């Protein structure tokens, strides 16, 4: 009679948790999504600094996206602003997986010091654009 509780314990530990979201759920296929130095770059002149945000050209589903992460860095050298970013998450691309139609916006932010008025070159991922300070057109797709 002693083995019976052990068998019950093994069965309880092997069950898929309620709500799914694991690789064990039938039909799940979690794939890494990654955007490196790609997306829409925006500049927002705040009181303490200029906030730089990079938004990936994709949506996150609250039921089929997980493990969101990312990083952003902006550096000013003379009149050149170099932005680097990485945005990642896992997306469930399994067949017949019911994903909600909500759209979370995958964005990372960083900051640079205020800049003198003038024209600056913005570089991200090998692409260049110009930024006028004071900022009149804050966003640029890359």
Q: pLDDT confidence of 136, banded at 50, 70, 90?
A: confident
Segment 102-111 mean pLDDT: 96
Mean pLDDT of the chain: 84
Q: Taking CA 95 as the corner, what is the angle to CA 92 and CA 101, rounded to the nearest 5 degrees?
A: 55
The predicted model gives 80-102 an average pLDDT of 95
Q: How many CA atoms lie within 13 A of 70 on its CB side?
A: 29
* pLDDT score of 9 more than 80: no
pLDDT in tens, 43-74: 999 988 999 999 999 999 999 999 999 999 99
Query: What predicted TM-score, i.e. pTM, was given to this entire model?
Result: 0.78
Q: Given a cut of 50, is residue 107 above it in pLDDT?
A: yes
The model's confidence at residue 25, banded by pLDDT at 50, 70 and 90, is low
pLDDT at 70: 98
Q: How confident is the model at residue 80 (pLDDT cuts 50, 70, 90)?
A: very high
pLDDT mean over 90-107: 94
Do residues 16 and 78 lie in contact, with contact meaning Cβ atoms separated by under 8 Å?
Answer: no
Write the secondary structure of the chain as one string of H (helix), E (strand) and C (coil).
CCHHHHHHHHHHHHCCCCCCCCCCCCCCCEEEEEEECCCEEEEEECCCCEEEEEECCCCECCCCEEEEEEEEEEEEECCEEEEEEEEEEEEECCCCCCCCCCCECCEEEEEECCCCCEEEEEEECCEEEEEEECCCCCEEEC
Nearest to 53 by CA among 119, 133, 138: 138
Q: Going by DSSP bridges, is the β-strand pair 118-124/80-92 parallel, antiparallel, or unpaired?
A: parallel
The first and second tokens of residue 86, run together, are 């990485």
């Amino acid at each position: 009679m002693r083995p019976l509780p052990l068998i019950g314990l093994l069965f309880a530990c092997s069950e898929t948790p309620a709500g799914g979201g694991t690789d064990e759920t039938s039909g799940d296929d979690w794939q890494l999504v990654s955007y490196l130095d790609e997306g829409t770059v925006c500049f927002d002149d705040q009181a303490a600094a200029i906030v730089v945000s990079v938004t990936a050209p994709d949506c996150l589903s609250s039921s089929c996206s997980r493990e969101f992460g990312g990083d952003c860095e902006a550096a000013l050298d003379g009149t050149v602003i170099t932005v680097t970013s990485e945005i990642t998450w896992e997306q469930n691309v399994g067949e017949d997986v019911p994903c909600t139609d909500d759209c979370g916006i995958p964005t990372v932010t960083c900051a640079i010091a205020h800049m003198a008025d003038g024209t600056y070159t913005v570089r991200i991922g090998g692409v260049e654009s110009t930024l006028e300070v004071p900022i009149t057109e804050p966003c640029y797709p890359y």
